[in-house]
Structure 1
């Protein structure tokens, strides 16, 4: 099903690759305002292409296009001479643990499949404004500045041996990125090995783990190019038919999804803590707890269980009364209804707080999404929020089940960790961008 192709990647020059920590950046949807401002101070940092800003009277996307052309002309970015599969390993530790994990994957072009084709599967909805921004940036640059994250499944770990061999000869590596991870990039340019990657994915569906807005931006850009070319005006092999994706094995033990908690900036109607607890008791067993720090451990592995913190040490364990689950009336699949976060959004945001329906909840400014426990508690104690609802992480099995059901999860359900970086690898969408004397080896129909 999934067609992947090697690419002639664009990378920073050898001198800059030796100092790669100085030019990589977080992805556009996770980089904070403070991080952006710091990174903008380096005129060669990749943030200028992935999250461009206006320069004087020049709009952001045009400024990025001018900068890209200047970098290419000056040799800041250089294109590799041969097409390849780019191996990307991330070595990391989870917060509070000492064991080093390694998420293994590779970057390649994947055909930009429409959702209706059932090859790339999603689990989140997108915001049109963000999709349009990514599509417009692609149109301005004709250059992909970061890879989205996709998942294939290979219980036999067939490709890991090839990747393990390649990573011994890295192109570049970070000392430690903003997440505390060490990122290592290598390349496989042997035609036979590349065909093994293509064959391994040819019969697979790909789950889009991270980067829904960037992927839909590629779809929109491809559709615009098709429309401009007209019937018979393109072959389907042009680079703009493809999308840069980082692919990892869903069967790996080192694939991690972290929880994303819900912090309520306000309570509708200025609801008091006592009134909130009374309404929650209609649907949940509410148990006071001595220590808010213990809440994650108390709910770990327990179905439909949550922590609640109201400030000044007021902590509670919530567990849905099993008999009320049948009241969950959203028009979605059983796989989605079974999720903890669906339970939280339906019974807390809709039934208790009156924010009715997923669409209204996605746009309601009263909820924020926070990953760290300490930050959740501190925001409530500082008076920046009224309540924090702590959640368990979504499992990989749940992600796969929801994707194959054809439905989507509530907003901000997954946080795959660590995030990939922008700036390690770029690819061009210009016609002939990946052409080489070896191109014919990779264009045969996939098995």
Structure 2
């Protein structure tokens, strides 16, 4: 039977990673791919033309797409396209990147390993957004039939002492391979730690901490769904079976190189008969509205100001800011930490009160809003008539993410965009029964 004590700490395990063979790894840029939920149609078309690109495993095509992925995986393993490392390890993963408009280079330091797939109720891995059941089922089916994990989700732990970074830095002195530049302009570098004593120290540090899931909620819930199905079929499982684990990229939330970019709201449509002038009139019931001369100044004008947004409407620019006295009208059944967020204010007072799209569930499925990361794209699409209005937002802070997660609530959809994203195909792991034999089993 399962030992309940295993569920009180963040248990991580090293893995015997599967990687492209040394010849292919010399050209790793040709085989990595964006995550399944951020890859564009144009990117997909280009990647699918390469028969060895990892997208064929992560976002497979075909009438029986998952069956195709399973067959392709077996072929790649048999032909030596993918090879498994002999020893288990923790894989250091660094991403060097620059933010738009800046020449400063950052380096986000982290590592990939297996983490036990904890239920949300265990309060070990914490979430900050809800998921779509169809996408979770898609990920669970792919995992169940291939028993292979093609890209790591992104988790955050807080360690103000930065104890693990020195081990990661040392491993990076001898990298396995690196990209020249991935699809988002980042340089990705992989190294491995196989020293047993160091790995156990990683386990000890994580055992004292909770993990916030930054990115990959659908993939993580896919692992949960698969694990629950296996447990239902085998109630006498020991808890050490490989399918109890999930591939995760862990980074320190205390680091200065953790970046969250804003995601703006683009109104593709408005209720019938609602003119631009009427929209402004309705907004005035809740917001102060100040016309501005130049739309390109909006991000700077609202920067750091709570409950403030840029509005681009009919070629005109405005700064809008919630009147403090009306915030108490926000009556959604959620925590004070969520109610304090800019995006909760935007979704409640604009989408619900002004546009009549009532409640988070209705807003999640409403096709009249698009979530756009590019500020200039927002302006361009309004100018082209592809959208009625753009609401420009500030980024969510890491402190806000932590407060919301610890409150047990979730944020509005598309609240965070952790940058850069991890890439698919850089490291694969298996959860097949054969993986149960490696020596690292008990978390210290």
1:183 aligned to which of 185, 188, 196: 188
**How far apart are the structure 2 equivalents of 1:443 and 1:217?**
23
**How far apart are the structure 2 equivalents of 1:330 and 1:27?**
32
Match of 2:51 in 1: 43
Segments of structure 2 that go 5 or more residues without pairing to the other structure are: 1-8
Contact 2:240 2:436 (C-alpha < 8 Å) held by counterparts: no
1:155 matched to 2:160: yes
The alignment partner of 2:435 has SS state of coil
1:158 deviates by 0.2
1:385 matched to 2:383: no
Match of 1:31 in 2: 39
Match of 1:342 in 2: 344
1:444 deviates by 2.4
1:10 matched to 2:18: yes
Match of 2:442 in 1: 444
1:26 deviates by 0.2
**How far apart are the structure 2 equivalents of 1:270 and 1:422?**
45
Contact 1:260 1:370 (C-alpha < 8 Å) held by counterparts: yes
**How far apart are the structure 2 equivalents of 1:265 and 1:386?**
6
1:434 deviates by 5.3
Given the superposition, is the C-alpha separation of residues 176 and 434 from structure 1 closer, same or farther in structure 2, using an over 3 Å criterion? farther
1:270 deviates by 3.6
1:303 matched to 2:303: no
After the TM superposition, list the runs of 4 or more consecutive aligned residues in structure 1 that deviate by more than 4 angstroms.
none
The alignment partner of 2:32 has SS state of coil
Match of 1:237 in 2: 240
Contact 2:92 2:168 (C-alpha < 8 Å) held by counterparts: yes
Contact 1:27 1:422 (C-alpha < 8 Å) held by counterparts: yes
The alignment partner of 2:327 has SS state of helix
1:138 matched to 2:143: yes
Given the superposition, is the C-alpha separation of residues 174 and 276 from structure 1 closer, same or farther in structure 2, using an over 3 Å criterion? same
**How far apart are the structure 1 equivalents of 2:213 and 2:159?**
16
1:405 aligned to which of 397, 407, 425: 407
Superposed CA deviations along residues 6-30 of structure 1, whole A, max 9, x for unmatched, are 0000000001110000000000000
Match of 1:280 in 2: 283
1:228 deviates by 1.7
The alignment partner of 1:433 has SS state of helix
Superposed CA deviations along residues 355-394 of structure 1, whole A, max 9, x for unmatched, are 0000000000000000011000001011100000000000
After TM superposition, list the pairs within 5 Å mapping 1:330-369 onto structure 2: 330-369=332-371
1:81 matched to 2:83: no
**How far apart are the structure 2 equivalents of 1:118 and 1:143?**
26
Match of 1:226 in 2: 231
Contact 1:309 1:377 (C-alpha < 8 Å) held by counterparts: yes
The alignment partner of 2:391 has SS state of strand
**How far apart are the structure 2 equivalents of 1:433 and 1:252?**
33
Contact 1:8 1:434 (C-alpha < 8 Å) held by counterparts: no
Contact 1:238 1:432 (C-alpha < 8 Å) held by counterparts: no
Contact 1:112 1:218 (C-alpha < 8 Å) held by counterparts: yes
The CA RMSD over aligned residues, in Å, is 0.7
Contact 2:264 2:373 (C-alpha < 8 Å) held by counterparts: yes
1:311 deviates by 3.4
**How far apart are the structure 2 equivalents of 1:43 and 1:205?**
40
Contact 1:308 1:389 (C-alpha < 8 Å) held by counterparts: yes
Match of 1:255 in 2: 258
The alignment partner of 2:250 has SS state of strand
Normalising by structure 1, we get a TM-score of: 0.97
Superposed CA deviations along residues 279-312 of structure 1, whole A, max 9, x for unmatched, are 0000000000000000000000001000000132
Match of 1:123 in 2: 128
Q: Between Structure 1 and Structure 2, how many residues are aligned?
A: 436
Contact 1:7 1:434 (C-alpha < 8 Å) held by counterparts: no
After TM superposition, list the pairs within 5 Å mapping 1:208-227 onto structure 2: 208-227=213-232
Match of 2:3 in 1: none
Segments of structure 1 that go 5 or more residues without pairing to the other structure are: none
Match of 1:324 in 2: 326
1:445 deviates by 4.1
Contact 2:204 2:443 (C-alpha < 8 Å) held by counterparts: no
**How far apart are the structure 2 equivalents of 1:359 and 1:172?**
43
